[in-house]
Amino acid sequence: MTVEGADDSRWLTRWLVVVSAGEAIGFLVPAVVGVVTSGTPVFVYATLAAGALEGAVLGAAQSVVLRRRLARLRVAAWVLLTAAGATVAYGAGMLASAATDFAGLPGVVKVGMVGASAGAVLFSVGTAQWLELRRHVRGAGWWVVGTAAAWTLALGAFLAIATPLWHEGQEPALSVLIGIGAGLVMAVVMAIATGAVLEAILRRDTTARLKTTPR
């Protein structure tokens, strides 16, 4: 159930600031781990662990703000689900990258693997969080679609910035700095988009409850 308060009008600003900061800080771990462990036997495991930590930090940041609107939100569940979704997203991302290197696979198989992996990247976090959000608001399914759209925009912004600046043989420190800068932009775009989606869901839920409340 949504919670109304005197400062509800400012919660979206809090979401933008806190969630942007949480994602930017959380992304520092995979940004560094990816560069440091690239080409080593531990790359996959280290990246998955870093992704889980990023998800946990993001989930914790989101819960700080979301609890102002959903007083009964289970914070631990939200954080763990977000971490799990992020882990799946990183695993799917690595699978998509590996699929392009499988020279022996038919083209249609590669396309299918990349498409399925891309879908998992975009929908994993929102789907995981939906398991908790559906306990508190009606129409929570829109969160899955909305977060997928938000991450499409955010990852697009990240790639648009980082890809032209990353070069083979680049100093690791420079690669990390580029990743951090692009990650900050990604975090802000994601926070803006998810905040707008969440606000729409909460408003719709409040309206629906008012219509069904006996007078």
Q: What percent of the chain has pLDDT over 70?
A: 83
Q: What pLDDT does 80 receive?
A: 98
* Residue whose entry in the numeric block shows the structure tokens 């083979």: 168
pLDDT at position 30 over 70: yes
Give the whole-angstrom CA distance, residue 28 versus residue 39. Answer: 19
Q: What pLDDT does 148 receive?
A: 95
Biggest alpha carbon–alpha carbon distance for the chain: 69
pLDDT at position 212 over 80: no
Question: Other C-beta atoms within 10 Å of 41: how many?
Answer: 8
- pLDDT (tens digit per residue) in 65-92: 999 889 999 999 999 999 999 999 999 8
Report, as an integer, the average pLDDT of 203-208: 73
Please, which contacts does 205-208 make with residues 24 or more away whose CB atoms are closer than 8 Å?
205/2, 205/137, 205/138, 205/139, 206/2, 206/4, 208/138, 208/139
> Between residues 211 and 190, which one has the greater pLDDT?
190
Report, as an integer, the average pLDDT of 191-195: 96
b (16+ CB within 10 A) / e for 119-151: ebbbbbbbbbbbebbeebbeebebbbebbbbbb
Question: CB-side exposure of 88: number of CA atoms within 13 Å?
Answer: 20
Q: What pLDDT does 4 receive?
A: 43
pLDDT at position 103 over 60: no
pLDDT at position 113 over 70: no
For 86, residues 6+ apart whose C-beta sits below 8 A from its C-beta are 51, 52, 54, 55, 56, 58, 124, 125
- pLDDT (tens digit per residue) in 146-191: 999 999 999 999 999 988 888 877 788 888 898 889 999 999 999 9
pTM above 0.75, yes or no: yes
Asked if 58 and 26 count as a contact pair (C-beta separation under 8 A), the reply is yes
